[in-house]
Amino acid sequence: MADKKRLNSSGLGIQRKVGGGFLLIALVIYIVLYLFLPPLFAYSWLLGLALGFILQRSRICFTAAIRDPLLFGMTELSRGLILSLMISSLGFAALQYYRLSQGLSLIGRFVPLGWHIPIGAFIFGLGAAISGGCASGTLMRIGEGFQMQLIVLIGFVLGSTHGAYDAGWWYQLIGEQEVTHLPTILNWPKALLLQLGLLIMLYLFAYWWEKYQFRS
């Protein structure tokens, strides 16, 4: 590490040791959770650890993935996340298909359609742009040592509670369309074609957009 002449190596060693210590503690917590609580909590803890690690290492930020193409014409991060969505869609679809064919319930994140989604998503986007990060980004950056994101989290909890208090009023906007699972609305081949087609089109558009923005 020749480029770190000005950094003293003992400080680096200390950071690594503390990091290793936290890793050990995290694993102990996993075991304790696994032994004494329903396994869902241990798995959720593990999911969080893995995602926090991956997000930090790959600098993935959902806000930046949406913002950077619009502001700076850069789409590498966006394309990384579109790719991620392609793979997760295939995985989710396979699991859903298997469960439905076994007569089990449909799994996934479904919310009835209505104006609450556009309005809420817009407000969320405004906040994410102003505070420099979305929900996952805020948590990841607290881990990175940002005091600012601790304030964001406080605001986040306050806003969430405020929103939960007001939600009864907003949820009058929830519409009739309760089934939002594309394969149920269409059928499996059509839904997969539509989903992957949209993602591939977004990917290609992002690729072209960057080329266009940085043409010399």
Partner 1 sequence: MNGKLRLPKQIKKILTKIFVRPWPYWVGGLLIAIANIIYLAVTNKYWAITTGFARFGAWLLEIVGIEVQTWAVWDYYEYLRPWKDRYTFSNLGIIIGALIAILLAGQFKWKKLKNKKQFFLALGGGWLMGYGARIAIGCNIGGLYSAISSLALNGWLYLPFIVLGILIGSKLLQKWLV
Partner 2 sequence: MNKLDCIGEPCPLPLMKVEKKIEQLEKGEELKIEVDHTCAMTNVPEWARKRGYKVKSEEVSFGEWEITITKTD
Q: What residues make contact with partner 2 under the rule CB under 8 A?
A: 3-4, 6-7, 11-12, 15, 56, 59, 61, 63-64, 67-68, 71-72, 74, 76-77, 131-133, 144-146, 148, 210, 214, 216
Gyration radius from the chain CA atoms: 21
Q: Closest approach of Cβ 81 to partner 2, in Å? A: 14
Nearer to partner 2, 62 or 170 (CB): 62
Separation of alpha carbons 176 and 120, rounded Å: 18
Separation of alpha carbons 27 and 44, rounded Å: 13
Tell me the sheet residues that pair with 174. 114
126 phi, psi to nearest 5 deg = -55, -50
What six digits make up the tokens of 193? 């074609």
If one counts every other C-beta atom within 10 angstroms of the C-beta of residue 210, the result is 19
**Contact of residue 74 among partner 2, partner 1, none (CB under 5-8 Å per partner type):** partner 2
Q: Are residues 196 and 86 in contact, defined by beta-carbon separation less than 8 angstroms?
A: yes
Nearer to partner 1, 21 or 211 (CB): 21
**Contact of residue 201 among partner 2, partner 1, none (CB under 5-8 Å per partner type):** none
Nearer to partner 2, 143 or 159 (CB): 143
**Contact of residue 6 among partner 2, partner 1, none (CB under 5-8 Å per partner type):** partner 2
Grouping H, G, I as helix, E, B as strand and the rest as coil, residue 83 is helix
**Contact of residue 206 among partner 1, partner 2, none (CB under 5-8 Å per partner type):** none
